[in-house]
A = this chain, B = another copy of it.
Amino acid sequence: MRKDGRTTNELRPIKITTDYIMHPEGSVLIEVGNTKVICNASIEDRVPPFMRGQGKGWITAEYSMLPRATEQRNIRESSKGKVSGRTMEIQRLIGRALRSVVDLESFGERTVWVDCDVIQADGGTRTASITGAFVAVALAFGVLLKNKKINQLPVKDYLAAISVGVMSTEHEVIDLNYEEDAEARVDMNIVMTGNGEFVEIQGTGEEATFSKEQLFSMLDLADRGIQQLFDIQKEALGELGELIGSERQSKGAYE
């Protein structure tokens, strides 16, 4: 039993609100326990310089926290004049993860800008960002589809992420809140696709190590937890969600 009453394999309550902000093509508020992230996906009709002329699209992500999303106020990165290493790591991770399930070849020379802004933090902000951003990106592509700028949803599969860890008591747990995260010996973030494959595994023992057995336990926990996230994403996306993977299938024959 964990401090907040959950069992080791129990996720916190999760809620995805779509169309949260009015301007972006795709906008989602994702709440995972007390962690709340606004995920906005914006379509820009051009690609960054290094991609020009290839006829392909691009997806990139930015991540930020409001200064007082956390217990202690953090200095704003715009005031410091530079983005921290932690922020860079997270935004690179989000972008990479999303690109793994989107067919970049099929939506023209467009960029999808994904903005994940944490308005309240209680652990797991990067995994909540990925899970929410996936929905926002699907919604944004839905707008392109509706406006007939593309013919098929370029989303090949579902994508979600969760944290797992090893507590100082050597128990493996899923979906760590901030207090647990601070106590954990090992912290691992796992990103998976709807068909059960891995996209990203990042396991870290800060001043600690972990065994192969602990690794396998964590992978199992994550696998089962992520299935629940897919269900919540599907519900949030409704009919649009049924088109996910269709692009892959129709292309399948000649791939």
Contact = CB atoms under 8 A, between A and B. Distances in A.
Contacts of A212: 196, 198, 219
A7 B120 CA distance: 38
Contacts of A84: 88
Given A117-B66, A202-B202, A22 B42 contact: no
Interface stretch (A203-211, A225-233, A234-242): A203-211
A56 to B, nearest CB: 11
Given A89-B88, A215-B198, A34 B22 contact: yes
Given A100-B208, A200-B204, A212-B198, A67 B85 contact: no
Given A38-B66, A82-B82, A104 B207 contact: yes
B68 A40 contact: yes
Given A82-B82, A202-B202, A209-B100, A40 B23 contact: no
Contact of A120 (B21, B69, B204): B21
Interface string A163-200: 00000000000000000000000001000010111111
A246 B180 CA distance: 32
A239 to B, nearest CB: 24
Interface string A63-78: 0101111110100111
Contacts of A243: none
B92 A76 contact: no
Interface string A116-133: 010110000000000000
Interface of A: 21-24, 27, 34, 38, 40, 42, 44, 62, 64, 66-71, 73, 76-89, 91-92, 96, 99-100, 104, 113, 115, 117, 119-120, 188, 193, 195-212, 215, 219
21 contacts: A40-B66, A40-B67, A40-B68, A42-B67, A42-B73, A64-B78, A67-B115, A68-B113, A68-B115, A73-B113, A78-B82, A81-B81, A85-B89, A96-B204, A100-B205, A197-B209, A197-B210, A198-B205, A198-B211, A200-B203, A201-B201
